Amino acid sequence: MTATLDLIISIVKTPAILVALIAILGLVLQKKSFSDVMTDGIKTFIGFLVLSGGAGIVSGALAPMGKMFIHAFNVQGVIPNNEAVVATVLVTYGSSTALIMLVSMIVNVLLARFTSFKYIYLSGHVMIYMSAMLAVIMSVAGFSTWPLIILGGIALGVADTLMPALVQPFIKEVTHSDSVALAHTGDFGYFISGVVAKIFGNKSKSTEDLKIPKSVSFLRDSTVSITLTMVVIYVILAIFAGPVYVGKMSSGVNYIVYSIIQAGTFAAGVYVILAGVRLILNEIIPAFKGISEKLVPNAKPALDCPIIFPYAPNAVIVGFFSSFVGGVLSMIIMITLHTVIVIPGVVAHFMCGATSGVIGNAVGGRRGAVLGAFVQGIFISFLPLALIPVLGKIGLGNAMFSDSDFGIVGSYVGWLGQAGGTVAISIGIIAALILFILVSVIVSSHRKASLNLNKEIGKENA
């Protein structure tokens, strides 16, 4: 039983295998030939491995940058890093985490099948992070095993269906279609970024249409511009950190040369991500058609955030730095207010900032990309402060959950527990499920009314 459970958990938390199996299921439901099923399934699998490899390269290249920043400016505090905190949590809450995740996937599919929100959450690696956080918070509140697993699964299943729906209007503007959705733990922050960009932005001026003199036209190539931008940032940080400190990481390589290599590695990682995304999109969307027609009508696959990077490569870098500036400003405010200091985590600001930049650019142009990502940077800096008190002993460590959905879902459940223990959390989760279903009914009624009105207008015009 344990071995079977381990196998299932390993599959669902590995996006490359999970999404490939979903693609194969979709193709089988469409009665495609064995050859097509094998070809498209394997391409989807490889596409996700390419994407994951690119994300790993980017994270690896950003790690020295974060260390240089902390050393150069001599700051100490909590670093938002999902991987670090989850590694700690799984030691104690591993089984509860895995079972919460499984229940949440069942709840997600049922909600997608029977409500108006047709989003199947396929980012298994971030689902396990959210499951881990809920396992900690609900255990600290006093839940026994099975209520914790069932209610935690319901809470996560509702969140995994609701969050992609929240940000989908902006994703449609990015992709110019309604065939794919966004499944990432920064979804609520992307929603806020999109709203800010829409209100204060100017859609007519895109980050991808920058006017560049002919003499520097090489900057039009996104790989070149990303590399040069990162070289400047890396070299400046290396100078501030000093050759002695950087030399400890460079294994004898000159600290300036080391910085240039890391900047180039970062750009190479982004290039690999974009290649992986293109491969996945070409395969998963046609394959998912079988599922949306047979099992969950009109369902949409919700995928990880790099899926939108190819739509605006310049906005990726603009969003990253705008978010990071928001994180630095937030850190200065925390130092001034003598609160716990949240140090800007460059990986979190890259993933969330870049995604916010692409969304901000789609709905508000250059200004939208800058402002949307900047607000996202502030948002993910202050949200951990609300989360720390409800996480028990792990909330006092040097690492903390980073992205916005952790802060929103974790604070909702955690602060209910602080106010009324297990009873308050149970009522809060059931209330959230009922509210979600009511909103779905209202949305469905509104869509039917709009459809009937359009039919009436069509008849009159005919």
Q: How confident is the model at residue 122 (pLDDT cuts 50, 70, 90)?
A: confident
C-alpha torsion 23→281→83→389, nearest 10? -100
Mean pLDDT of 403-430: 92
- Whether this prediction's pTM lies above 0.85 is answered by no
Q: Which of 27-31, 192-196, 291-295 has the least mean pLDDT?
A: 291-295
Q: How confident is the model at residue 22 (pLDDT cuts 50, 70, 90)?
A: confident
At 416 the pLDDT is: 93
Mean pLDDT of 116-130: 85
Q: How many CA atoms lie within 13 A of 282 on its CB side?
A: 14
Q: How confident is the model at residue 102 (pLDDT cuts 50, 70, 90)?
A: confident
Separation CA 451–CA 431 (nearest Å): 30
Residue 195 has pLDDT above 90, yes or no: yes
Backbone angles phi, psi at 236, to 5 degrees: -60, -45
Residue 199 has pLDDT above 90, yes or no: yes
Residue 288 has pLDDT above 90, yes or no: no
Q: Which of 63-72, 329-338, 434-443 has the least mean pLDDT?
A: 63-72
Q: Which of 14-28, 94-108, 272-286, 439-453 has the least mean pLDDT?
A: 272-286
Q: Which of 17-26, 39-48, 258-267, 453-462 has the least mean pLDDT?
A: 453-462
Nearest to 99 by CA among 131, 143, 71, 61: 131
At 175 the pLDDT is: 92
Q: How confident is the model at residue 203 (pLDDT cuts 50, 70, 90)?
A: confident
Q: How confident is the model at residue 253 (pLDDT cuts 50, 70, 90)?
A: confident
Separation CA 161–CA 296 (nearest Å): 13
Find the angle CA(85)-CA(90)-CA(94) to the nearest 5 degrees.
155
Backbone angles phi, psi at 413, to 5 degrees: -70, -45
Whole-number percent of the chain with pLDDT over 70? 92
Give me the residue spans of the domains in the chain: 1-455
Q: Which of 252-256, 288-292, 343-347, 423-427 has the least mean pLDDT?
A: 288-292
Q: Which of 14-28, 221-235, 386-400, 430-444 has the least mean pLDDT?
A: 386-400
Residue 376 has pLDDT above 90, yes or no: yes
> 10 Å Cβ neighbour count for 104?
26
Nearest to 390 by CA among 412, 372, 370, 368: 412
> 10 Å Cβ neighbour count for 317?
23
Mean pLDDT of 232-254: 86
pLDDT in tens, 30-89: 888 888 888 888 888 888 788 778 878 877 887 888 788 888 877 777 777 676 677 677
Separation CA 319–CA 355 (nearest Å): 7
Q: Which of 14-18, 242-246, 307-311 has the least mean pLDDT?
A: 14-18
Separation CA 292–CA 288 (nearest Å): 6
At 189 the pLDDT is: 93
